[in-house]
Amino acid sequence: MKIRDILHSGKPTLSFEVFPPKTEDKFLSVSEVTRQIAALGPDFMSVTYGAGGGSRQFTVQLAHDIQAAYQVPVLAHITCVSSTREQVRDMLEHLKAQGIENVLALRGDKPQNEPEQETKEYHYAAELIRDIRSAGDFCIGAACYPEGHVESQNKAEDLKYLKEKVEAGVDFLTTQMFFDNQILYRFLYRIREIGITQPVCAGIMPVTNGKQMKRIGGLSGTELPQRFKAILDQYGTTPKAMKQAGIAYATDQIIDLLANGVRHIHVYTMNKPDIAAAILHNISEILKV
């Protein structure tokens, strides 16, 4: 099923992101985790793609297994920063063969310690989106950054590139994680002003590890509001308390978003079925409204 049809159905949606293993010996354990998350019955799931496509074979396998075993629509990530056009075509054909019809098109991050390529076939996600659009009837998602991409000079430049991606053939957008809903509301106002009308899935990251999230927040440029910082400071070194507080904070964000008309929530699960299950439990009746 195409995700664009799910997002246009008129009802709120809850989706989960999972990531594949880096090595084959971890595949079975990761597969079991993703199956537990799929068993929760989300509206769809996304499967990420390692830096430079390093886990591409596991991405396709996990996506196929989830869809086949649980009939949960799957969104397979695909990046282009270290890929040739031939590799992208091969990947798209592989996805088609596995019955996967939804892709999230990303430029991606260059793998660490990889030398700079003299000639790159892809520079921006919009180029990848155009190739995917011409390759067949894929439903195409793309990333957006409510606080601006860390490499953009300013938010105006970031919106210009986002508009280019949308015009290249994007069906829906998924945001980077954020911890202050007002940032998303302002972002949604700005993109509607420039004519971007595609559905937007709000990316929510439940915080269960204080040290990890401080590092990720610093790398991504994500603003940490004072209320969030207080939770990290108070509970970040106490795992069980941090887990409980993190679930509560994410739940509060989601409820506020849904109450204010943001209909689509995408949870970055970090491959933790218990976190995904707790959030679904907390909003199960709310999603029916």
Are 104 and 47 contacting, i.e. CB atoms less than 8 angstroms apart? no
115 to 12, 14, 122, 221: CA distances (angstroms): 44, 39, 16, 25
As beta bridge partners, residue 44 has: 15
- CA angle centred on 159, ends 198 and 224, rounded to 5°: 95
Residue 223 token pair = 């603003």
- Rounded to 10 deg, the angle between the 155-169 and 125-134 helix axes is 10
Q: How many contiguous H segments (helices) and E segments (strands) does the chain have?
A: 11, 8
- The whole-angstrom separation of Cα 178 and Cα 185 is 11
Q: Which of 17, 101, 127, 147 is catalytic?
A: 17
How big is the chain, counted in residues? 289
157 is catalytic: no
Are 130 and 169 contacting, i.e. CB atoms less than 8 angstroms apart? yes
Q: Active-site residue numbers?
A: 17
